[in-house]
Amino acid sequence: MAVSLDELMPRLQHQAKLGVARTALVALGVGFEFLSRHSEEMQREIADWEEGRTLAIGVLPRGPRVTIRKGGRQLEMLGGDAYHADGAELKVMFKNVDAALLVLTGRIGAHTAFAEHRALVHGEIAKAMQANRAMAIVVKYLFPGVMLRSITRRMPVFSASELLLKARLYAVIGPFLARGLFK
């Protein structure tokens, strides 16, 4: 059966949005992993997370997701499949891809997303708040200053070494993003 352009366009747009969300989630995962190795602020934040704690962030109903696990003193990205995400003890799932993109492309902050009921939380709210703080650290390094000004409640201040770390994260994230896109 022939598909009309009117039917095709929304589907293509939706696929494109999912693609952007997938890429952004990979960037987020890489950010968690990288900063847990190199940022003292992140290391302090996750110090009390118990070994094996898993956190999944994704898009409903069957969109992309990323799963992060605490192993040793660091965080590792387990990949973007539903298998890992479904088993995570803490899941933050955006209600739809448009809601996810608002956060993942830096148009609203994670706290605003929670306040606006953009995402569901499966699991302990206290752990979701801890994850939210860790995510705020990733966001601080991932997004440029102009974006941070509008999405954070308090503009982060960067030390010289943190600025250097931001540059290093940008350098490592490129290849990961490419891999994430073509996985």
Backbone angles phi and psi of 109, in degrees to 5: -80, 165
Nearer to other proteins, 40 or 124 (CB): 124
Q: Considering the complex, what minimum distance in angstroms separates the CB of residue 160 from other proteins? A: 22
Q: Rule CB under 8 A: is residue 123 a binding residue for other proteins?
A: yes
Q: Considering the complex, what minimum distance in angstroms separates the CB of residue 7 from other proteins? A: 28
**Cα–Cα distance list, 95 to 61, 91, 113 (Å):** 7, 12, 11
Q: Considering the complex, what minimum distance in angstroms separates the CB of residue 103 from other proteins? A: 12
Q: Rule CB under 8 A: is residue 105 a binding residue for other proteins?
A: no
Backbone angles phi and psi of 126, in degrees to 5: -60, -40
Match 């589907």 to its residue by tokens: 11
Q: For residues 108, 111, 112 and 114, what is the CA-based torsion angle, rounded to 10 degrees?
A: 120
Q: Rule CB under 8 A: is residue 104 a binding residue for other proteins?
A: no
Instruction: Give residues in contact with other proteins (CB under 8 A).
Output: 110-112, 114-117, 119-130, 132-133, 152-154
